[in-house]
């Protein structure tokens, strides 16, 4: 089993408890991060009618709920939203929450979607689980319309400069695996999550990779003591 397959199988295993674990571990603050991402994206895209949003590594459909809700609040006519994820277990949970949404089993690097067919592609707290990240960015560029937007929410690695950075680090590496393990009965999965952030790229490197794929970062903002970063890039 390759690294990518192992990650998928781990997410299948924790699918049933993933939502509650997420809320507890982020202390509910991920809702605010997601909300801000949707609002900022709609503001930058500037269209009142959007044909298609694709949410990649959609998991249980959390981000899809936010896209729909924020589109409504902003009186945006969102015609279609699709969830894509290689984990069938996670999407089964999503289908119960969102029976009207189409979920497709696929990797971020090989999406069964037409060229230039999406207005917006989002990936929230999932890009660190994509082993072939650069290939995924090229695939996003293929599927996006010209001037379409890629929206990334992610836990990014930052230099530990302040006391608060060390507090964050302690939470991620010590408290998160224990709590997540208790809730999901799978400590290994929640040990993997902070490790995947530590192995993960800096915001700067992520922006470089996006540029290589023809996706120009136009908005970069860190939230909550730099725990989470929002990057919005435009297809040029």
Q: What is the DSSP string of 34-76?
A: HHHHHHHHHHHH--SEEEEEEEET-TTTHHHHHHHHHHHHTT-
Dihedrals phi, psi of 156, to nearest 5 degrees: -110, 155
| Structure tokens that stand for 35 in this block | 């909300």
Residues comprising the binding site for S-adenosyl-L-methionine?
Answer: 60, 85, 124
Q: Which two tokens stand for residue 194?
A: 């902070």
Burial readout 78-98 (b: 16 or more C-beta within 10 A, e: otherwise): beebbbbbbbebbbebbeeeb
Per-residue tokens: 224: 């909550």
Taking the C-alpha atoms of residue 83 and residue 185, their distance in angstroms, rounded to an integer, is: 26
- Residue stretches of the annotated binding site: 60, 85, 124
């Amino acid at each position: 089993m390759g690294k990518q397959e192992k990650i998928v199988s781990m997410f299948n295993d924790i699918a049933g408890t993933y939502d509650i674990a997420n809320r507890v571990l982020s202390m509910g603050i991920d809702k605010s991060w997601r909300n801000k991402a949707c609002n900022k994206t709609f503001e930058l895209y500037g269209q009142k009618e959007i044909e298609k949003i694709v949410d990649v590594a959609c998991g249980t459909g959390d981000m899809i709920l936010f896209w729909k809700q924020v589109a409504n609040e902003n009186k945006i006519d969102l015609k279609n939203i699709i969830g894509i994820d290689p984990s069938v277990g996670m999407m089964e949970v999503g289908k119960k929450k969102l029976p009207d949404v189409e979920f497709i089993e696929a990797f971020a690097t090989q999406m069964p979607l037409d060229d230039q067919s999406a207005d917006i592609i989002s990936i929230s707290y999932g890009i660190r689980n994509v082993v072939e990240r650069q290939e995924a960015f090229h695939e996003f560029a293929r599927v996006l319309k010209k001037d379409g937007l890629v929206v990334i929410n992610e836990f990014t690695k930052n230099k530990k400069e302040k006391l608060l950075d060390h507090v964050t680090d302690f939470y991620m590496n010590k408290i998160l695996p224990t709590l997540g393990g208790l809730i999901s009965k799978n400590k290994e999965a929640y040990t993997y999550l902070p490790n995947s952030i530590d192995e993960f790229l800096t915001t700067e490197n992520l922006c470089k990779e996006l540029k290589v794929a023809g996706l120009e970062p136009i908005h970069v903002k860190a939230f909550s003591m730099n725990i989470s970063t929002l990057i919005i890039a435009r297809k040029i």
